[in-house]
Structure 1
Amino acid sequence: MNTPMDWSNVRERVIAVEEAERRARGHGPSPRPTFEPVLTPAEIAEVEAQYGVALPDEYRAFLAEVGAGGPGPGRLTSLCRVDGTWGWLSDAGYHWLLDPSGPFVETGGWVDRQVATLRAAGCEPTARDGESDHLDDYRTVFGDAGEEAWYLERGRGAVLVSENGCGVTGWLVVVGPHRGEVRDRDCDVNPPFEPYLDARGNRHTFGSWYLEWLERREEAHR
């Protein structure tokens, strides 16, 4: 039986670190709230009803107890409603929507997933490109929508949960056998999704990933 993640005092600890960093730079208190407001149980239920899946437990509790966005490894995207639809809002203004139609595909299975999609559409894939796999085939089969279809399928079952600068992003797996784990992805055309690992080489879940980040920041200010 999994031990529930304890988020007590995490919000206060993050705020304290943020304030310590501002003081060290000679700045006063920030005029903006550190975190986005927490979500109510009813709002979380709306998100889950919209997508037809339950959010991973640690992340679900974070939304309810800490905030729906704010500081984190990089900067957490904000889970919010835009034009009546819940999604994850990036600093660039993109509102990422979860595709819950299938499990998140790990890097090792991505080529096979593309081939299956193309064959289901009546297309036999051409030779795989070394950088973009079968992106050109998607453009051929799906026309103007091909590139977007390819990118969206790559992120199926996961959500953009953090932005770490220079195009580096963090993703939370929501659907599939690795639900609750987080993945690191660079900004290249077709980069792999790499598991975040702790010091022992174990895969991070959202909770362990976030708390490790916080502990490192606290240590830097002691």
Structure 2
Amino acid sequence: MWDRAEILERLAFLARADSGFTRFGSASHRYRLNQPIAQSEVTAFETRHGVTLPEDYRSFILEVGDGGAGPCYGIFRLDRPDLDDDRREDLMPGFLAEAFPHTQSWNERSDGTPEAEEEYFDRAHIRGSLNMSHQGCGYMVRLVLTGPQRGTLWEDGRCSDAGVTPFAVGFADWYLRWLKRDPPAR
């Protein structure tokens, strides 16, 4: 599915064209990918969490790189909870195996009471999804691993009362769109 050499070539081009890292988030990942992950690590992750990763993401981390260069501030590594608080919580037992609760945009705004705020930010609204990337200002991109929306990316914008909304694309489309965008003009 993926051509690692072609992706690395494109990333090298982007790094040369954007040597000042002016493209949003590029200073964080610097157009570099981590090394691919071992099959045994992916299998262990899937077994431990009771999930099967969507094929496009699974093949990416096995063939291309386990995180690094990507949209916004880049892609998180599969099993590194120390890098991100949300990812650490994602890896709590049972969280990823539960069915993702949404099939369309969700945004039941809070009335401002402490109870309503707690409900609005309850992680049950994003269960069954894995935090892929930080977009800045608390916005997160999540890959759905379970339920009818499995394989699609969603934005968790509850940080600014924007709810949880679908991107309506899978990992491969999301990544390749970013990769093919032109670098900023100098």
Please state which band the TM-score falls in when normalised by the shorter chain: 0.7 to 0.9
Partner of 1:142: none
For residues 114-169 of structure 1, the C-alpha deviation after alignment (integer angstroms, 9 at most, x for no partner) is: xxxxxxxxxxxxxxx842699717x9xxxxxxx49962212100011011112221
Summarize the Cα distance change of 1:77–1:193 in structure 2 as closer, same or farther, 3 Å threshold: same
Residue 77 in structure 1 maps to residue 76 in structure 2: yes
- DSSP-derived class of the 2:19 partner: helix
CA distance in 1 between partners of 2:120 and 2:20 (Å): 46
- The AA in structure 1 aligned to 2:65 is G
Summarize the Cα distance change of 1:148–1:96 in structure 2 as closer, same or farther, 3 Å threshold: farther
Partner of 2:25: none
Partner of 2:10: 13
What is the deviation of 1:178?
1.2
What is the deviation of 1:186?
2.0
Partner of 1:104: 100
Partner of 1:214: 179
Summarize the Cα distance change of 1:204–1:130 in structure 2 as closer, same or farther, 3 Å threshold: closer
Residue 131 in structure 1 maps to residue 110 in structure 2: yes
What is the deviation of 1:205?
0.6
Instruction: State the TM-score, normalizing by the size of structure 1.
Output: 0.64
User: Contact between 1:132 and 1:190, CA under 8 Å: does it hold in 2?
Assistant: no
User: Contact between 2:130 and 2:144, CA under 8 Å: does it hold in 1?
Assistant: yes
- The AA in structure 2 aligned to 1:159 is L
What is the deviation of 1:110?
6.2
Residue 89 in structure 1 maps to residue 109 in structure 2: no
User: Contact between 2:105 and 2:163, CA under 8 Å: does it hold in 1?
Assistant: no
User: Contact between 2:75 and 2:133, CA under 8 Å: does it hold in 1?
Assistant: yes
Partner of 2:148: 177
The higher radius of gyration belongs to 1
Percent of paired sites with the same residue: 29
Partner of 2:64: 66
Structure 2: give runs of 5+ residues left out of the alignment.
23-29
More deviation in 9-18 or 184-193?
184-193
CA distance in 1 between partners of 2:137 and 2:148 (Å): 30
